[in-house]
Amino acid sequence: MTTNIEIATAFEEMADLLELSGENAFRIRAYRNGAKAIRDSSESIAQLIANGTDLTTIDGIGSTLAEKSVVLVTTGHLPQLEKLRIEVPPTLRDIMRVPGVGAKKAMRLFQELQVVDLQSLRAVCESGLVAELKGFGAKTQQSILQNMEIAEKAAHRLMIDEADYLVDQLRTHMQTCSAVQRLDFAGSYRRGKETVGDLDLLVISENIAMVMDHFGAFPGVHEIIQRGDTKMSIRVTDSFQVDLRVVAENSWGAALQYFTGSKEHNVHIRGLAKSKGMKINEYGVFDADDESKWLAGTTEQDVYAIVGLPWVPPELREDRGEFETGKQSIWNRLISLSDIRGDLHMHTVATDGENTIEEMAEAARSRGLSYIAITDHSKRVSMARGLNEVAALAQWAEIDRINAKSDGSFHIFKGIECDILEDGRMDLSDECLAQADWVTASIHYGQKQPRDQITQRILNAIENPYVHAISHPTGRLIGRREAYDVDLSAVIQAAKKYRKCLELNANPSRLDLNDINTIAAIDAGITITINTDAHSIANMDLMKYGVIQARRAAVLPENVLNCKSLDEIKRYLSGQ
């Protein structure tokens, strides 16, 4: 049966290839919206088709995509996609994702310089041929070379939410195998890294052949790379590799610890074991002088205990201080999703969001939150219909009316995501900002300004008495855009001086602050906010990725502003 991820992936490829072909933007958007709707659907599209359900009842799927879904599910092929693959090399999709290239330039590079993949793109740039193309030039050529590394990395890794989706699909599939006694995922995915290069699946079973047969029958398999006695590797969507290892029950803890990593963490663990006359590998802990003598390995707790440590949360296993004396006392207090009481960065239909204030509020309440801040864009972000002062004040008056009807158990704060202009001024006047409950400042334009200028713009915002926080402080988009050149140390010091917050943006495309910068902020005594930057109700569920990132930085609930209760945050915002 064709899976949702396979249908969505086909439509995403259609959108990319249509864009490369210069197709109508509305048609391209229809495929992208349809792909997203199918990926996000909790129901099997194939099963719905089998039941005769009209797919156009699903928001985001029109009649054309509904018809193509039926064709893809019933035949396993999509003729239009296959035709496009002949006309446009699918590898051009990697090229169009190089920052500064895009679909039109990728197609010109293909047509005029026969560039078909990242390798040939690098070759024509290094030879100087791109600089000679009309509309490109030496500056564009140099920019492409500088951004190649971003695209090359992105082509081989999944974002954490994409990996999460694949994990859910694999887990659901493998749990239907009666021979599977226990399973879990290890590697960088379990450590909560923002991108994942492959997946490690561990299984306990007494029937290895049956488990491997079932693994090989996963609907998303494109290729079986290898199959051995206890290890099997497959390639799934977009050439992503998943490794299965079947282990014995008494090796479960040792294998989970070993394959979770990181390499640096495991080297340290093995060093501790060696100093105690022991040896650790994926099969267990053994006496170094008599390797037939098994000492531990059934649980991870046993592995850590035998070298004198409490169990280390997977997110901290990067050899970044987790072995320091005294650090272990906070591990059982790391922030969790249940600690989050509110969300202080979200958008509505007033700018570029998909839902109304009331809809966002109700969705937040249903998720157990006590408060939100509506922070639509200010006017500088014209492409998102940013609010001018009159519109902002009108929206805040509307929020006051909504709050007046509340029973007091949930509150909407009047907020704004106010742009920091290229000249360092705030996009809205102080007189306007003073009437907001919550102001978060951000940079969306002029991101290529010199380091000193970018830094000074953020410092200006921090010094503004009406600004509470800086959103996505480095401006990066993972796999698409590097962080702008900013002196984050100076920003952190200013935030500490003026008692301002820095945001950890939970959107998987941002996760900004990153884990290293979050550590620096917490070490300096900065209070952070973890916000979804939600542009829709569904986006509110991205909060978990911000929490995972925070855990990688050993963040505690008391370090996070929106872990405060409603009464506490009201007192905080009133200056008490």
pLDDT per position as a tens digit, 76-131? 889 988 888 888 888 888 888 787 788 888 888 888 888 888 888 899 889 999 89
Per-residue pLDDT at 196: 94
Per-residue pLDDT at 94: 81
* More confident site: 499 or 30: 499
Record the tokens describing residue 417, joined without a space: 């995501």
pTM for this entry: 0.79
Residue 11 phi/psi, 5-degree rounding, is -70, -35
Same topology, domains 4-154 and 158-247? Answer is: no
Per-residue pLDDT at 348: 97
Q: Any idea which architecture 337-573 has in CATH?
A: Alpha-Beta Barrel (3.20)
- Report how far apart, in Å, the C-alpha atoms of 421 and of each of 102, 178, 458, 465, 490 are: 26, 60, 10, 17, 19
Per-residue pLDDT at 155: 61
Of the chain, the percentage scoring pLDDT greater than 70 comes to 97
Answer yes or no: is pLDDT of 154 > 60.
no
Is 52 strand, coil or helix? coil
* CA distance linking residue 505 with residue 532, whole number of Å: 6
Binned at pLDDT 50, 70 and 90, residue 150 comes out as: low
* CA distance linking residue 464 with residue 356, whole number of Å: 29
Domain ranges of the chain: 4-154, 158-247, 252-318, 337-573
Average pLDDT for the chain: 92
* CA distance linking residue 529 with residue 340, whole number of Å: 10
Mean pLDDT score, 436-447: 97
**C-alpha 411: how far from its chain's center?**
28
Q: Are 531 and 506 in contact (CB under 8 A)?
A: yes
Per-residue pLDDT at 424: 96
Binned at pLDDT 50, 70 and 90, residue 42 comes out as: low
To which CATH superfamily is domain 252-318 assigned? DNA polymerase, thumb domain (3.30.210.10)
Mean pLDDT score, 172-185: 97
Mean pLDDT score, 418-430: 97
Separation of first and last alpha carbons in the chain:
59
Q: Are 418 and 440 in contact (CB under 8 A)?
A: yes
Lowest average pLDDT, out of 252-261, 274-283, 324-333, 432-441, goes to 324-333
- 8-state DSSP, 439: E
Answer yes or no: is pLDDT of 152 > 70.
no
* CA distance linking residue 234 with residue 240, whole number of Å: 8
Binned at pLDDT 50, 70 and 90, residue 153 comes out as: low
Record the tokens describing residue 268, joined without a space: 């340290």
Choosing among 3.40.50.2300, 3.40.50.920, 3.40.50.720, 3.30.460.10, the CATH entry for 158-247 is: 3.30.460.10
Binned at pLDDT 50, 70 and 90, residue 151 comes out as: low
- 8-state DSSP, 449: S
Residue type, 257: Q
Instruction: Write out pLDDT tens, residues 376-414.
Output: 999 999 888 999 999 999 999 999 999 999 999 999 999
* CA distance linking residue 493 with residue 525, whole number of Å: 9
If you classify domain 4-154 with CATH, what class do you get? mainly alpha
Of the chain, the percentage scoring pLDDT greater than 90 comes to 65
Instruction: Write out pLDDT tens, residues 494-532.
Output: 999 999 999 999 999 999 999 999 999 999 999 999 999
Instruction: Write out pLDDT tens, residues 346-359.
Output: 999 999 999 999 99
β-pair type (284-287, 278-281): antiparallel
